[in-house]
Amino acid sequence: MSASDLTSYMDSVGLAARQASALMAAAPTAAKNKALLALARRLREAGPALAQANAKDLAAASDLDEPMRDRLKLKPEVIETVAQGCEQIAAMPDPVGEITSLKRRPSGISVGQMRVPLGVFGMIYESRPNVTIEAASLAIKSGNACILRGGSEAIHSNLALANLVAAALKEAGLPEAAVQLINTTDRAAVGLLIAAPQHVDVIIPRGGKGLIERITAEAKVPVIKHLDGNCHCYVDAEVEFGLALTVVMNAKTQKYSPCNATESLLVHAESASDFLPHIGALLSEKGVEMRGCPRTLALLGPIPGAKIKAATEADWSEEYLAPVLSIKVVDSLTEAIAHINRYGSHHTDAILTTHHANAMRFLREVDSASVMVNASTRFADGFEYGLGAEIGISTDKLHARGPVGLEGLTSLKWVVLGQGEIRV
């Protein structure tokens, strides 16, 4: 596509999205749910057609590494999971139109807040076709229109999925343009999308840190960012050892690649001499490399076969997404909180403690999107939090923080009900 063709294509997509968003904002809950259930049915029926489209993408992506090919693959269980996701979202209450805390004021007016869709969101993501359906289903239920730009390696799979979405919307009497997939792999399309406030109200990028930083720097539209997850577990002075061992091992080793996996372990000096040799042995069994501060190295002692080395300053800020854990001994809760707020990424951090006041202080003073007491950082997730689904995990403070579900795709406007009141 030439540059001017691309511009006019993106303008037509944007205008159609804006028109569809007005209809979606006023759409009855029943119609939105009908579209979601139709989409679930169509996903299950379309197995062979989806497999064919996906095979084209996989054939073209022979040079991708295995984890990326795996994410690109539309396995039957992936399709079943997203179909179930659509059904779950259909079963959730409609966030749109809810009026909260309507209160009578001395002037006589009643003032409350009504939840309404944001309008149009743009979603930019890597080559995971399941995200196409997750984004579409959240858009439909939240009454928004969306413009989707998936990774170019997944273009055939995404187009096949987008056709199912359009058919489901049509079946429910909703505008097909409510969910549009950009049908070109031209990278310039992203640049146009993020610079078009007339078409898009918010951009949600998902992908590597580099991509998100670039989009944030260049966007002329608000961005709900998901930067890195350098998550901590802090083992306090008063702690149930068994519980702490179980939770820390789960937080680090249940999966290494998610952003909510723990990357750094802080241990209070009073617990360290007992706790570190135990956790060191368990981590070593799992093949997890440990990068410790000098006191950690001294207390861990020699563990046969363990990968242990000295942590550098850079380790405290690192999101490994791998079987590596940095470990530091601290002398107080105050030091632990200061370390987390300085080196962490404000994503998810947990304290393991039996001490009530310390737990409360950690909750208040750690400046992260999710703060936890005696639970694995791996719980920071839209499904686990009861949001039904998530479109991302925000590390921003404004608007949406942490897992972003239906509510994060809405806004609150003020409603005033009067009987002819005037301002005096």
In the complex, the residues that contact a copy of itself under the rule CB under 8 A are 22, 25-26, 97, 103, 105, 107, 109, 111, 114, 116, 118-119, 201-202, 222, 240, 243, 246-247, 250-251, 254, 341, 350, 363-365, 367-376, 378-380, 384-386, 396-399, 401-403, 411-424
Closer CB to a copy of itself, residue 118 or residue 131? 118
Q: Least separation, in Å, of the C-beta of 67 and a copy of itself?
A: 20
Q: Are 16 and 180 in contact (CB under 8 A)?
A: yes
Q: What is the DSSP string of 200-236?
A: -SEEEE-S-HHHHHHHHHH-SS-B-------EEEEE-
Closer CB to a copy of itself, residue 5 or residue 367? 367
Residue 279 parent element (H or E)? helix 269-285
> Amino acid identity of 128?
R
Closer CB to a copy of itself, residue 243 or residue 310? 243
In the numeric block, which tokens belong to residue 245? 């061992």
Q: Are 9 and 184 in contact (CB under 8 A)?
A: yes
Q: Least separation, in Å, of the C-beta of 177 and a copy of itself?
A: 18
Closer CB to a copy of itself, residue 133 or residue 351? 351
Cα 256 from chain centre = 16
Encode burial over 366-397: b for 16+ CB neighbours within 10 A, e otherwise. bebbbbbeebbbbbbbbeeeebbbbbbbbbbe
Closer CB to a copy of itself, residue 97 or residue 294? 97
Q: Least separation, in Å, of the C-beta of 307 and a copy of itself?
A: 24
CA distance 401 to 408: 8
Who contacts 130 (Cβ-Cβ below 8 Å, separation ≥6)? Answer: 74, 78, 81, 82
**Nearest Cα residue to 172 out of 215, 140, 217, 208:** 140
In the numeric block, which tokens belong to residue 251? 């937080």
Closer CB to a copy of itself, residue 187 or residue 342? 342
SS3 156: helix
Q: Are 120 and 172 in contact (CB under 8 A)?
A: no
Q: Least separation, in Å, of the C-beta of 54 and a copy of itself?
A: 29
Closer CB to a copy of itself, residue 3 or residue 422? 422
CA distance 145 to 22: 9
Residue 66 parent element (H or E)? helix 66-72
Who contacts 226 (Cβ-Cβ below 8 Å, separation ≥6)? Answer: 204, 205, 206, 212, 259, 392, 393, 394, 395
Closer CB to a copy of itself, residue 13 or residue 372? 372
SS3 65: coil
Q: Are 143 and 169 in contact (CB under 8 A)?
A: no
Q: Least separation, in Å, of the C-beta of 402 and a copy of itself?
A: 5
Q: Least separation, in Å, of the C-beta of 164 and a copy of itself?
A: 29
Q: Least separation, in Å, of the C-beta of 108 and a copy of itself?
A: 8
Closer CB to a copy of itself, residue 4 or residue 419? 419
Closer CB to a copy of itself, residue 9 or residue 241? 241
Who contacts 286 (Cβ-Cβ below 8 Å, separation ≥6)? Answer: 249, 253, 323
Q: Least separation, in Å, of the C-beta of 93 and a copy of itself?
A: 13
Q: Least separation, in Å, of the C-beta of 34 and a copy of itself?
A: 20
Q: Least separation, in Å, of the C-beta of 50 and a copy of itself?
A: 29
